[in-house]
Amino acid sequence: MAPVPTERDLRLDLFRGLALWLIFLDHIPSNAVSWITIRNYGFSDATEIFVFISGYTAAFVYGRAMQQHGFIVASARVLKRAWQIYIAHVFLLAIYLAEIAYVSNSFDNPLYTEEMGVLDFLKNPDVTILQALLLKFKPVNMDILPLYILLLAWFPPMLWLLLRAPSIALLASASLYALMWLFEWNLPAYPSGTWVFNPFAWQLLFVFGAWCALGGAQNLSRWIHSKVVVGLAIAYLVFAFSIAMTWYFPRLAVFVPKFLGEAIYPIDKTNLDVLRIIHFLALAVITVAFVPRDWPALKSRFFWPAIVCGQHSLETFCIGVFLSFAGHFVFTEVSNRVLTQVAVSFLGIAIMVAVAALISWYRQAERQGGGPRPPAAKPGYAGGDV
Partner 1 sequence: MKERLLLLALLMLGNAPVWAEQPAECRVAENLLESSFRLPQVTRAIAAKHLTVLVMGAGSSQLPGPNGAANGSNSPGNAYPVRLQQALAQQLHGVEVKVTTDVKAKRTAAEMVKALPAALSANKPALLVWQTGTVDAMLAIDPDQFSHALDKGINIAHSAGADVVLINAQYSPRTESMIALGTYAEDMRWVALQHEIPVFDRFSIMKLWGELGTFDLYSATKKLDIAERVHDCIGRLLADLVITAAKPEEAPVNGSR
In the complex, what is the shortest distance from the CB of residue 79 to partner 1, in angstroms, rounded to a whole number? 29
User: Taking CB under 8 A as the rule, does residue 361 contact partner 1?
Assistant: no
- Classify residue 118 by its DSSP letter: G
* 102 contacts partner 1 (rule: CB under 8 A): no
125 binds partner 1 (CB under 8 A): no
CB burial readout 262-273, b (16+ within 10 A) else e: eebeeeebbbbb
Q: Which is nearer to partner 1, 320 or 384 (CB)?
A: 320
Q: Does 300 bind partner 1 (CB under 8 A)?
A: no
Find the largest Cα–Cα distance for the chain.
66
The verdict on 124 binding partner 1 (CB under 8 A) reads no
Which residues have CB under 8 Å from 112's CB, separation 6+?
A: none
The least CB distance from residue 131 to partner 1, in Å, is 12
Q: Of 29, 70, 125, 292, which lies in the binding site for partner 1, with binding defined by CB under 8 A?
A: 29
At 138, give phi and psi (nearest 5°). -130, 110
Q: Does 117 bind partner 1 (CB under 8 A)?
A: yes
Q: Under the criterion CB under 8 A, does residue 274 sit at the interface with partner 1?
A: no
Among the residue ranges 3-11, 117-125, 210-218, 276-284, the one whose residues contact partner 1 (CB under 8 A): 117-125
Q: Binding to partner 1 by residue 134, rule CB under 8 A?
A: no
Q: Does 242 bind partner 1 (CB under 8 A)?
A: no
- Residue nearer to partner 1 on the CB measure, 118 or 286: 118
In contact, 122 and 170? CB cutoff 8 Å? no
CA-wise closest residue to 206 among 52, 60, 58: 52
Please count the other Cβ atoms lying within 10 Å of the Cβ belonging to residue 225.
12
Q: Is 269 in the site for partner 1 (CB under 8 A)?
A: yes
d(CA 123, CA 293): 53
Amino acid letter, 272? L
Q: What's the closest the beta carbon of residue 200 comes to partner 1, in angstroms?
A: 15
Q: Between residue 30 and residue 89, which ones bind partner 1 under the rule CB under 8 A? A: 30
Considering beta carbons, is residue 257 or 296 the nearer one to partner 1? 257
- Cα 21 from Cα 306, distance rounded (Å): 8
Task: Determine the 3-state secondary structure of 188 from DSSP.
Answer: strand
Cis peptide bond prior to 292, omega within 30° of 0: no
Q: Does 140 bind partner 1 (CB under 8 A)?
A: yes
Q: Determine, following the binding rule CB under 8 A, whether residue 108 of this chain makes contact with partner 1.
A: yes
Residue 193 binds partner 1 (CB under 8 A): yes
Choose, by CB under 8 A, the member of 34, 47, 54, 324 that binds partner 1.
324
Length of the chain: 386
Vertex 290 angle, CA 285 and 291, to 5°:
100
Amino acid at 356: A
Position 265 contacts partner 1 (CB under 8 A): yes
C-alpha to C-alpha distance for 205 and 271, rounded to whole angstroms:
11
251 binds partner 1 (CB under 8 A): yes
CB of 196 to partner 1, least distance (A): 8
191 lines the binding site for partner 1 (CB under 8 A):
yes
Write the DSSP symbol of residue 39. Answer: G
Give the count of residues interacting with partner 1 (CB under 8 A).
Answer: 46
Whether the Cβ atoms of residue 213 and residue 52 lie closer than 8 Å to each other: no
Residue 162 to residue 269: CA distance in whole angstroms: 26
3-state secondary structure of 370: coil
Q: Which stretch binds partner 1 (CB under 8 A): 159-167, 250-258, 300-308, 367-375?
A: 250-258
Nearest distance, CB of residue 194 and partner 1, angstroms: 6
Q: Does 369 bind partner 1 (CB under 8 A)?
A: no
3-state secondary structure of 194: strand
Confirm if 65 and 72 have CB atoms less than 8 A apart. no
> Of 123, 250, 257, 294, which one interacts with partner 1 (CB under 8 A)?
250
**Closer Cβ to partner 1, 106 or 368, answer by number:** 106
- Residue 107: strand, helix, or coil: coil
Binding site for partner 1 (CB under 8 A): 28-30, 99-100, 103, 106-119, 139-141, 189, 191-194, 196, 247, 250-251, 253-254, 261-262, 265-266, 269-270, 324-325, 328, 331-332, 336
